[in-house]
């Protein structure tokens, strides 16, 4: 008899409790929905949504389906997350390195930044940027042009739009350049491992990424022109810019606060990672004749990255999840469009909240799988 009550008992009781709780909830949900005359189902996704969204990356209006609205929200969430992640990473790395600077002023400045932005709730920061700071910007008619072509106004940032001719040729040339760089890097690494010769990979890479797209302009027939935003009068006091790309102030406020907030955490990860590399490693590298740059590039960074990446992944996940605070300032992200407007219209609370949660779960899990894969790739291969 392999089964013992001692082993089975606790598990059985736990499972029983979980099943009971879930059963209780499901039973109640069924009864409640019957009483209120709501039926469960995801059929509403293909119905006409009949509400509009302020800012959308894909074509959308009220005649599209709820599923389309869901996609609009999801894309907006992804957009703000990606912008936030890029800015936060750059800022975080700079601040993290500045935290380790021997320069007293820079060190304290970075520390002040981290302590300041980390200890204020993110929602408060978003409100601050959106309701206080960005509201102080000029009206469209009073805005001073930046670099002559962009306008930062209370209604958002207007920048020139790119108008491409033969865009696909340009795109292919960039792809070709990237592939060539990867091939050359692999080859150079092999050469160095086999013969000990170093190839100027960086120079060649820069040359390739500049020359190939340039060639596409010269001989490929690619043309680039700009569509500059132009002020247009709607009514006596109402002005708007037409043409170009407009970024709504909600997006700016959200991306700004998300990246400023998350950068503090990334900075701490970077600092911890670089500090985590033993002093002996640096000294050993210096003693075999590597110069400071090589020490940083070949010895410190590869080891530091292993410490930095897992917590930084967590921060990326946090940023993505925090982007749902967009609902507070009416940036049309997944939560606002789908769990807000669509839920109000359809009343399908269980379906919509579950879809929203499932989407975030999928996003988080896919980011963490991606980063785990990368982490595994750069981990120490012990023999």
Partner 1 sequence: MSKINFLKPDKSNLSTFLYTGSFLFFISVIDVFLNSFFRINLTSFLPSFISFLLPLILGFIGLYFIRIEFSGIKNLDLINKHINTNNFNAILSLFIIFVIIKSTPPILSWFVIDASFAGDSKDICSGSGACWTYIKVWMRRFMYGMYPNAEQWRINLSFVALALLGSVGYFATEKFKKYLTLYYVVIYPFIAFLFIFFFISGGPVFFDFSYGIIAAVISIIVGFFIPSRFKFYYFIFVPITLYIALKYFIFYEELIELGKLDGLNWVETGAWGGLSLTFIISFFCLIFCFPIGMAFALGRRSDFPLIRYISIGFIEFWRGVPLITVLFMSAVMFPMFLPADFFIDKLVRCIIAISLFEAAYVAEVIRGGLQALPRGQYEAAKSLGMGYWKMHIFVILPQALKLVIPGIANTFLALVKDTPLIFVVGLLEIVGMLNLAKTNPEWLGFAMEGYVFAAIIFWIICYAMSKYSYNLEQKYKTER
Binding site residues, partner 1, CB under 8 A? 7, 9-11, 13-15, 17-18, 24-26, 28-29, 31-33, 35, 101-106, 109, 115-116, 118-125, 127-128, 131-133, 135, 321-322, 324-325, 327-328, 335, 339, 343, 349-350, 353-354, 356-357, 360-361, 364-365
**Residue 18 Cβ vs partner 1, minimum distance, rounded to whole Å:** 6
**Residue 132 Cβ vs partner 1, minimum distance, rounded to whole Å:** 4
CA distances from 20 to 6, 8, 9 (A): 22, 18, 16
Q: Which one-letter DSSP state was computed for residue 143?
A: P
Strands 156-159 and 245-247: antiparallel
Strands 230-233 and 239-242: antiparallel
Distance CA 244, CA 263 (A): 30
Nearer to partner 1, 11 or 287 (CB): 11
Nearer to partner 1, 128 or 172 (CB): 128
**Residue 335 Cβ vs partner 1, minimum distance, rounded to whole Å:** 6
Nearer to partner 1, 136 or 219 (CB): 136
- Let me know: does 181 contact 266? Beta carbons within 8 Å: no
**Residue 262 Cβ vs partner 1, minimum distance, rounded to whole Å:** 13
Nearer to partner 1, 132 or 163 (CB): 132
Structure tokens at 332: 């049309």
Helix, coil or strand: residue 365: helix
Nearer to partner 1, 26 or 46 (CB): 26
- Let me know: does 96 contact 311? Beta carbons within 8 Å: no
**Residue 38 Cβ vs partner 1, minimum distance, rounded to whole Å:** 9
Nearer to partner 1, 298 or 365 (CB): 365
**Residue 321 Cβ vs partner 1, minimum distance, rounded to whole Å:** 4
Residue with tokens 């990867």: 182
- Let me know: does 204 contact 177? Beta carbons within 8 Å: no
Residue 118 CA, chain-centre distance (Å), reads 19
**Which of 347, 251, 340, 367 is CA-nearest to residue 70?**
340
**Residue 120 Cβ vs partner 1, minimum distance, rounded to whole Å:** 5
Nearer to partner 1, 191 or 357 (CB): 357
Nearer to partner 1, 118 or 185 (CB): 118
**Residue 271 Cβ vs partner 1, minimum distance, rounded to whole Å:** 14
Q: Which one-letter DSSP state was computed for residue 288?
A: T
Distance CA 255, CA 279 (A): 37
The terminus-to-terminus CA distance of the chain in angstroms comes to: 42
**Which of 115, 80, 122, 78 is CA-nearest to residue 267?**
115
**Which of 86, 383, 51, 21 is CA-nearest to residue 259?**
86
Instruction: Report the largest interatomic distance among the alpha carbons of the chain, rounded to a whole angstrom.
Output: 89
Element (H, E) at 233: strand 230-233
Nearer to partner 1, 130 or 170 (CB): 130
**Residue 9 Cβ vs partner 1, minimum distance, rounded to whole Å:** 7
Distance CA 85, CA 374 (A): 17
Q: Which one-letter DSSP state was computed for residue 277?
A: S
**Residue 68 Cβ vs partner 1, minimum distance, rounded to whole Å:** 21
Nearer to partner 1, 216 or 323 (CB): 323
């Amino acid at each position: 008899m392999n089964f013992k009550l001692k082993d089975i008992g606790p598990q059985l009781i736990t499972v029983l409790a979980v099943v009971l709780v879930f059963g209780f909830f499901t039973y109640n949900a069924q009864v409640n929905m019957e009483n209120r005359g709501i039926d469960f189902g995801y059929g509403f996704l293909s119905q006409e949504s009949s509400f509009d969204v302020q800012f959308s990356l894909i074509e959308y209006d009220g005649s599209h389906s709820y599923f389309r609205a869901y996609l609009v929200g999801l894309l907006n969430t992804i957009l703000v997350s990606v912008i936030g992640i890029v800015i936060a990473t750059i800022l975080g790395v700079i601040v993290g390195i500045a935290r380790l600077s021997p320069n007293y002023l820079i060190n304290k400045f970075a520390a002040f930044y981290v302590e300041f932005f980390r200890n204020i709730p993110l929602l408060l920061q978003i409100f601050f940027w959106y309701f206080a700071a960005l509201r102080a910007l000029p009206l469209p008619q009073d805005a001073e042009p930046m670099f002559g072509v962009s306008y930062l106004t209370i209604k958002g940032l207007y920048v020139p739009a790119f108008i491409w001719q033969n865009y696909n040729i340009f795109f292919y040339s960039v792809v070709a350049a990237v592939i060539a760089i990867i091939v050359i890097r692999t080859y150079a690494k092999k050469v160095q491992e086999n013969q000990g010769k170093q190839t100027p990979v960086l120079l060649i890479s820069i040359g390739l990424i500049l020359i190939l797209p340039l060639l596409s302009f010269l001989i490929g027939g690619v043309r680039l022109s700009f569509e500059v935003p132009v002020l247009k009068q709607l009514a006596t006091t109402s002005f708007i810019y037409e043409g170009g790309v407009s970024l709504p102030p909600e997006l700016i406020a959200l991306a700004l606060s998300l990246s400023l907030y998350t950068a503090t955490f990334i900075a701490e990860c970077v600092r911890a990672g670089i500090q985590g590399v033993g002093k002996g490693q640096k000294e050993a590298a210096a003693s075999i004749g590597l110069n400071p740059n090589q020490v940083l590039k070949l010895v410190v960074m590869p080891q530091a990255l292993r410490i930095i990446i897992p917590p930084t992944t967590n921060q990326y996940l946090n940023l993505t999840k925090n982007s749902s605070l967009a609902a507070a300032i009416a940036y049309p992200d997944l939560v606002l469009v789908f769990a807000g407007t669509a839920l109000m219209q359809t009343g399908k609370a269980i379906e919509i909240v579950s879809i929203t949660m499932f989407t975030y779960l999928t996003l988080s899990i896919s980011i963490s799988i991606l980063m785990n894969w990368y982490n595994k790739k750069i981990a120490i291969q012990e023999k």
